[in-house]
Structure 1
Amino acid sequence: MRSRSLFLPGFLTLLALIVLIGLGTWQMQRLHWKEDLLQRVTARIAAPAVPLPPAGWPTLDLKEWEYRPVEVSGTFRHDLETRVYVLLTEPRGPLSGPGYFILTPLETGEGRVLINRGFVPLETASFPRLEGLTVVKGLLRGPEDRNMFTPADESSERLFYARDPAPIATALGIPLAPFTIDAVETLPGGLPQAGETRVNFPNRHLEYALTWYGLAGALLAVFAAFAWSRMRRR
């Protein structure tokens, strides 16, 4: 009778333990993946710049090229310039706070690619334009993810809230490469402030894993106390 009275609580506890331990193990796997990603990104950023692939941009493996330093030459289309709102809290340059990343299409022999020329504060009225053939060195970036808190783009004002070439191409009515390039060198004039690529990968997976494992241990202790109490009463 004693074992039968503990069967259902024990079965439910076992199921919960499997789930909690599984979640903890999954977070540990995510931890190893995140650490490997950080190592690869750090190594890529420090590598010398290579020429931007000359063709096949729509099928470019962005996972292999993300954060890779590249070099490309072309002519800026300042008439098609767009802004992406950003709150720059950890700047590498002297300017910070709310403002915009200035994204300008660069006409190359293979097509147009958006160059993130850098950051300007909200109140900035103007900044230098570059005419003629220009060589740009920067980090190749895939489209920026959106979430439920990302505001809707103001396409008619050429104001966007994510660094994503697809909606920008739609708003401008021109084809664009499916990636952007963050300029790493501030051009003459001091603005836009380049080199502000945000390499931010939140890594709390160990904390989450320990939480799940801790809950599993606590559940096991509670069940052991419950079973001991039940056995003593009987």
Structure 2
Amino acid sequence: MRRFRPRPLPTVITLVVLLILASLGTWQVQRLQWKNDLLQRMEERTTAEPVLLDEVRLDDPAAVAWRRVRVVGRFLASPGPPELYGVESHGGQLGSRLLGAVETADGRTLLVDRGFTPEASVPPAPPGGQVELDAILRDRSEDQQTWFLPDNDPATGHWFWIDLAELGRIFGRPLEPVALQLLPGSPGATVQAKPPRLDLPNNHLGYAITWYGLALALLLVYLVFSSERTDPRS
């Protein structure tokens, strides 16, 4: 026979840790719902019929992110070397994303992700004159340098994070807080341009199970620790 006899200090510690573990599990459940909603919204917006950019307000980037748009405008020339963003590998080729800027018919200027370009090849120049682009809007309003990203090198055209203010200075126009990611076949898109990836990591369910599992294990350990054998003869 065993009798439950809790001790004050272990009980307080267990309750605090249980609260923390349960909170972490609940937070991961909330993150799971948020991620599922985001993926669904991304899928719906990227597969919907495109709308004219002239009809889209850009002052709330999160509200229009991932929307497919048609854009009428002209590419701006970069005064220096091609602007290359990040480092990627496609089909065994090392390269970067080719950046540009487009001035729309209504006077707005947007950064443009033209697609992947191999390091060993000369980046293609943007088309001249007025063009009609097929693109996905991407929110760039919160881009900033993190501790593991190196500094950008505007002099050589190498960018490791999107600095809209500095890129706007190079292209000679202030840039909107959203960028265009060109779809394959759009004027100005590179040969290896691809649609945006929608397979964002979604491991929140596993994390939630882990935190709740630790909470349950802690509770079981506490119950065993707080029980003691009793002498049935007493």
Give the TM interval when normalised to the shorter protein: 0.7 to 0.9
SS at match of 2:226: helix
Distance 2:167 2:185 in 1: 23
The CA distance in 1 between the partners of 2:169 and 2:129, in whole Å, is: 26
* Structure with a larger share of its residues in helix: 1
Q: Corresponding residue for 1:47?
A: 48
Could you list the runs of 4 or more consecutive aligned residues of structure 1 that deviate by over 6 angstroms after TM superposition? Answer: 2-5
Mapping of residues 192-207 of structure 1, within 5 Å: 192-207=191-206
The alpha-carbon deviation at position 188 of structure 1 amounts to: 7.2
Shift of 1:64: 1.4
Alpha-carbon distance between aligned partners in 1 of 2:6 and 2:66, rounded to the nearest angstrom: 59
- In structure 2, the CA distance between the partners of 1:199 and 1:151, relative to structure 1 (3 Å rule), is farther
Alignment of 1:17-28 (within 5 A): 17-28=18-29
* 1:208 to partner: Cα distance: 0.7
Q: Which runs of 5+ in 1 are unaligned?
A: 90-94
Query: 2:96 maps to what in 1?
Result: 100
- Does structure 2 retain, via aligned residues, the 8 Å contact 1:184–1:196? yes
Residue deviations 1:3-44 (CA, integer Å, cap 9, x gap) = 887111111111111111111011111111111111111011
Distance in structure 2 (CA, Å) of the matches to 1:5 and 1:188: 72
1:147 aligns with 2:146: yes
**Matches of 2:56 and 2:210 in 1, distance apart?**
48
Q: Which residue of structure 2 aligns with residue 158 of structure 1?
A: 157
Give the total of aligned pairs: 224
Tell me: CA distance 1:171–1:126, structure 2 relative to 1, closer, same or farther (3 Å): closer
Task: Compare relative contact order (CA 8 Å, sep 6+) and give the higher one, 1 or 2.
Answer: 2
- How is 1:1-234 mapped onto 2 (pairs within 5 angstroms)? 6-53=7-54, 57=58, 59=59, 61-80=60-79, 81-88=82-89, 95=91, 97-109=93-105, 110-143=107-140, 144=143, 146-186=145-185, 191-229=190-228
Give a deviation string over 1:16-75, Cα, whole Å, max 9, x none.
111111110111111111111111110111001101146864x2x111111100111111
Distance 2:196 2:49 in 1: 17
Amino acid at match of 1:76: F
Alignment-mate amino acid for residue 39 of structure 2: L
Q: CA deviation at 1:173?
A: 4.7
CA 221–194 in structure 1, closer or farther in 2 if over 3 Å, else same: same
Q: Alpha carbons of 1:167 and 1:88: their partners in 2 closer, same or farther (altered >3 Å)?
A: farther
Which structure 2 residue ranges, 5 or more long, are not aligned? none
Q: 1:84 aligns to what SS in structure 2?
A: strand
Q: Is the contact between residue 186 and residue 193 of structure 1 (CA under 8 Å) also seen in structure 2?
A: no
Give the number of the structure whose residues are more often strand, by fraction.
2
- CA offset at residue 164 of structure 1? 4.4
Report the 3-state secondary structure (helix = DSSP H, G, I; strand = E; otherwise coil) of the residue aligned with 2:193. coil
Q: Mark the CA change 1:21 to 1:146 in structure 2 (over 3 Å): closer, same or farther.
A: same
Output one character per residue of 1:161-193: Cα deviation in whole Å (capped at 9) or x when no partner. Answer: 124423322444531111110010235798342
Distance (Å, rounded) in 1 between the aligned partners of 2:144 and 2:36: 20
Letter in 2 for 1:168: L
Residue identity in the other structure for 1:22 = S
CA distance in 1: counterparts of 2:188 and 2:98, whole angstroms: 15
TM-score normalised to the size of structure 1? 0.84
